[in-house]
Structure 1
Amino acid sequence: MPVAKFHLSEELITKESARQILQQASAIYADVLDSPIERTRVFINSYNPDYVAVGGEVCADSANVVAFFEFIVLDGRTQEQRTAIGEQFTLLLCDILGVDRSLIRGYCSLVRPEDWYISGNPASAVRKAEVDARRQEQGNG
């Protein structure tokens, strides 16, 4: 379920830095949420500085850059987990892109398990099936 989107000024990123962000953000997500990395989805959207503004100034006309992220987790994840992801994504952008921390913004969206779909099925049903399968396996072992 973990999905993250990074919105960045196109002059900030290279193919190599994009790969680093995609791979490291996936690892952060999997680690913090104790989730298989196969479930992560990470996207980067880049923006022409003529088409974005920071602080009311068009980025092409200023030294400002866009460094914004959003991430989605299922409702029930702890505040500590959400804060850890936000902090680590911020540090990731600072380290890889050299962006001043004060320019980075982000937010977390919580999604109810019955409103998130995995292979067309609500996550609530998928979770229940996984829990039931583990119980049955433990009972047989």
Structure 2
Amino acid sequence: MPIAHFHLVDGTGTADQRARLLTEACRSYARVLAAPVDRVRAFVVGYPPEEAATAGTLLAEGGAPAPYFTAIVLAGRPIEQRRRLAAEFTRLIVEILGVPPEVVRGQVVEVSPQNWFIAGHPADQVRATEIAARAEPGTAP
């Protein structure tokens, strides 16, 4: 169920850079969470410069681009994984898009398995074995 959204102002990065960000984010997500890459989804969410502001200034009027990401994970993932994921996404944004790390923001959002659906079925039922294993100390499927 891992899903990432990279919120970028239009013109931040080329099409090739955005494609690289998405593909590398999928691989990083799978590696950090020890999850099959076929479960990972990543999206760029674009905003016109006149619909985004940083420090009170619209980007269309000279505001500095400040990429933001969200990463959705099932609740119960260890804090170390969530922190590593945030660090990895920040690194990718900095390296691929060429922005300074201090302008990147992000959050890892935990979703209850009862509130996440896979093929119309609650994740707590579909992934019961994996979720139970994560609840045991020292295990991380």
Deviation, structure 1 residue 66:
3.1
Does structure 2 conserve the Cα–Cα contact (< 8 Å) formed by 1:52 and 1:66? no
* SS, match of residue 8 in structure 2: strand
State the alpha-carbon separation in 2 of the partners of residues 41 and 32 from structure 1: 14
Q: Which ranges of structure 2 fall in alignment gaps of 5 or more residues?
A: 132-141
* Sequence identity (%): 38
Mapped pair 1:27 → 2:38 = no
Aligned residues of 1:18 and 1:44 also touching (Cα < 8 A): yes
Structure number having the greater helix percentage = 1
Instruction: Give the Cα–Cα distance (whole angstroms) in 1 for the partners of residues 71 and 11 of structure 2.
Output: 23
Counterpart in the other structure of 1:43: 43
SS at match of 2:77: coil
| TM-score, normalisation: structure 1 | 0.88
What count of residue pairs does the alignment treat as equivalent? 131
Larger Rg: 1
Q: Give the TM-score taking structure 2 as reference length.
A: 0.88
**After TM superposition, where is structure 1 displaced by more than 2 Å over at least 4 residues in a row?**
128-131
**1:95 paired to 2:95:** yes
Q: Which runs of 5+ in 1 are unaligned?
A: 132-141
SS in 2 for 1:12: coil
Structure 2 Cα separation of the partners of residues 130 and 102 of structure 1: 36
Give the whole-Å Cα distance in 1 for the aligned partners of 2:110 and 2:32.
Answer: 16
1:114 to partner: Cα distance? 1.0
> Could you tell me whether the CA contact under 8 Å between 1:50 and 1:59 is conserved in 2?
yes
Contact 2:54 2:63 in 1 (8 A): no
What's the offset of the Cα at 1:130? 7.0
Matched, 1:54 2:54: yes
AA in 2 matched with 1:19: A
Report 1:77-88 matches (<5 A): 77-88=77-88
